[in-house]
Amino acid sequence: MKLLIFLCVACAAVMAVMISQAVRQEFILKRLKSSTEEKTMQISRYENTVSEMKKTMLGVRPQMMSMITETQNLKTKKETLQKEKTAWEENINTCNKEKGEAEKTKGEVTENLNKLTVQHNEAKGSAQKTIEELKQQILDRDKTMCASVDTTIAEARKLCGLGDTLPGIFSPRPRDFSLPNSSWGPKMMELYDHYNSMCDLETEDIHNQKGPWIRLPSYNRSLKYATGGVYLSKMIQSKARLFTRNIYQAGAAFEYVIFVNKEEKKCVCLLQAGHLLEGPPGHVHGGAIATMIDTVTGTHATFLAGLVVTANLNINYRSAIPLGSTVLLESTFDKMEGRKVSVICKVTSSDGSKLHTEATALFVAINVSHLMGM
């Protein structure tokens, strides 16, 4: 009986231990289950967070790609700017080098120019001194000659310029044929007053005049235009006369005056043709017209390029010019190529309404030694 009771107690103890173990295991399982559920929820939250982050990253990715592209573009632009900067620095260095060379050349040119200026002034002073001496010699000779001539003879009085309206070849005061005289008609005077009013100062020294237009004095020799030429012309071919100024009778042949406008590169001539220029009955000879065209265009070319000679003169006659009428010759600059100067000339009635003649002229610049055959 005791054994049975012991066994029962032992069984009960074993059952109690087993029940206790089972309860403990159940508790542990519950804890594990709870922990697992908690972990599962945490993992789910993490997964949600990761999913949201993925979405955010997907949304940010285009911006990042754009930023990467922009960064690359900026990098490329930086490299380009760096290359341009290098090129500009090289250009600046080259310019500075050229500037230095130019300044050096400028200094040399300035020095040479100063030397040439000094030499020119010395030569000019010497030439002026020589001219003054020649002038005085000519005046002394003229006085001696005129003191011994018979002043009752008209030719002698003409040579010495005594009592004549036209100074003679020994007169120290040359006559300016471009000034008005009693033979000039109303149209000639009207045009003369028009152009002369645009000349500020009217003197025999054309370099002293100011204003848009310059009236050129006109003597009986071309050489008289030069400095001291009035006296030199008496020594070199003193009997020669400018073709258009070889008649002393006023109004008989070429009555004209020339005006030059350097700024506009234009030249105009007012011409009144006298009775000695007749070609066709009652009209001006074509050769006389050609002479005046050559005179005007040549004067114009001289102002443009210095001393020139005629190389070609092409004339188209449109309508005849009545004797005694006043016409206007207008010369305009065409082109200049090296020593060659081209001008265009037209001859019209005094009011410009009728075209008489058209011409083109070509001149070649030369030096004085060439003209004198030296």
Q: Among the options 164, 200, 205, 294, which is catalytic?
A: 294
Contact 362, 327 (CB under 8 A): no
Contact 308, 336 (CB under 8 A): no
Among 120, 226, 231, smallest CA distance to 174 is for: 231
Contact 277, 262 (CB under 8 A): no
Contact 268, 345 (CB under 8 A): no
**Residue 214 zone, left/alpha/beta (φ > 0; ψ -120 to 50; rest):** beta
Among 211, 223, 47, 232, smallest CA distance to 128 is for: 232
Question: Which residues, other chains included, contact 208 with Cβ-Cβ below 8 Å and sequence gap of 6+?
Answer: 201
**Backbone φ and ψ of 218, nearest 5°:** -130, 115
Whether 294 is catalytic is yes
Residues tagged active-site: 294
